[in-house]
């Protein structure tokens, strides 16, 4: 139950959950980020009651999450940090597009001291759909935000609670589009109640204040790119990136971190030139198992896109 007198802050960033289409039956030809947060919340019966009658809504951004960038991430993180430090705030709920939700979740997990719950939610269908999934996801997010002992950055979608480290979007269309791979979900929301099967995420207490300070007024973010190893891959793209001044490269490798020999040679050249290089795997489950003497370090279990987020933050110092 919600602690008396405390409010839940809803920070909106746009996405499909706020999208509209010209016809109600159109679930793919919509325009994302059209509905304002107050209108979005008002359309969900019982939402304010589930939150204990105290919701504060703010429009931090209004974009399709495919267009998310580090400036918006930093603004969102700063607002979250302020809210988390407010004793009058019980929890934060963030509405977000599905495409880059996993990256935002990992960014916030890394830079926030989230002793209170920070709950990201989303939708695969626009607000104008015949059967939109956004309203139920919002109700489920409130259930997680008010759950006893809840903490950390989590994602709630289709009744499933995911941790920020493992969650991935694994389907381009279906409502249940997210998975935590072989790690499994943290739990489920069932009729407004949270059933956990794993503990809430660990909170990074020590580094958070320094991280927020580092990103607070950042205008130039370290340039980090992703490259993919595949049949017939070459090193030309890597060589071009190095010539243009890239700071870091994350390689989405095949299998257990294996790389096409031409791509690997280029990555080693980049590493010798002072570019940060890390390997992850294209595989949606599991993680790279390092071997003694690996010339290119692995991502420590992070997916390629999350490894990129971490590298950007690492390069900030």
CA distance 31 to 39: 16
d(CA 185, CA 131): 25
Dihedral sign computed on CA atoms, order 164, 169, 170, 171? positive
For CA atoms 295, 238, 181, 138, give the dihedral sign.
Answer: positive
Q: Tell me phi and psi for residue 228, to 5 degrees.
A: -115, 135
The active-site residue, picked from 13, 16, 98, 121, is 16
- Residue found under tokens 């060589």: 239
Q: Give the CA radius of gyration of the chain.
A: 20
Residue 51 contacts residue 146 (beta carbons within 8 Å): yes
Instruction: Check if the beta carbon of residue 207 is closer than 8 Å to that of residue 317.
Output: no
Q: Is residue 16 annotated as part of the catalytic site, yes or no?
A: yes
Cα separation, 188 vs 250, in Å, equals: 32
Do the beta carbons of residue 214 and residue 76 sit within 8 Å?
no
Q: For residue 214, which phi and psi values (nearest 5 degrees)?
A: -70, -35
Active site residues: 16
């Amino acid at each position: 139950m919600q602690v008396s007198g405390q409010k839940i802050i809803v920070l909106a960033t746009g996405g499909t959950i706020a999208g509209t289409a010209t016809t109600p039956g159109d679930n793919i030809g919509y325009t994302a980020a059209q509905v304002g947060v107050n209108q979005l919340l008002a359309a969900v019966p019982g939402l304010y009651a589930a939150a204990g009658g105290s919701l504060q809504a703010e429009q931090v951004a209004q974009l399709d999450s495919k267009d998310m960038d580090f400036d918006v991430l930093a603004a969102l993180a700063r607002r979250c940090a302020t809210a988390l430090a407010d004793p009058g705030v019980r929890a934060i709920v963030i509405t977000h597009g599905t495409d880059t939700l996993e990256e935002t979740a990992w960014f916030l997990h890394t830079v926030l001291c989230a002793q209170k719950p920070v709950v990201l939610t989303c939708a695969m269908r626009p607000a104008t759909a015949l059967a939109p999934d956004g309203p139920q996801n919002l109700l489920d997010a409130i259930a997680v935000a008010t759950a006893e002992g809840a903490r950390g950055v989590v994602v709630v979608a289709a009744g499933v609670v995911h941790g920020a480290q493992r969650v991935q979007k694994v389907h381009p269309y279906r409502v249940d589009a997210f998975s935590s791979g072989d790690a499994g979900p943290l739990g489920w929301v069932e009729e407004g109640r949270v059933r956990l099967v794993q503990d809430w995420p660990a909170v990074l207490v020590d580094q958070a204040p320094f991280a927020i300070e580092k990103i607070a007024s950042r205008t130039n973010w370290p340039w980090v790119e992703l490259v993919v190893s595949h049949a017939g891959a070459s090193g030309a793209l890597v060589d071009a990136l190095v010539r243009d001044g890239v700071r870091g490269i994350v390689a989405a490798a095949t299998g257990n971190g294996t790389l096409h020999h031409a791509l690997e040679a280029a990555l080693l050249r980049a590493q010798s030139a002072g570019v940060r290089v890390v390997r992850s795997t294209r595989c949606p489950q599991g993680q790279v198992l390092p071997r003694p003497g690996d010339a290119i370090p692995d991502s420590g279990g992070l997916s390629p896109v999350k490894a990129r987020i971490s590298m950007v933050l690492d390069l900030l110092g």
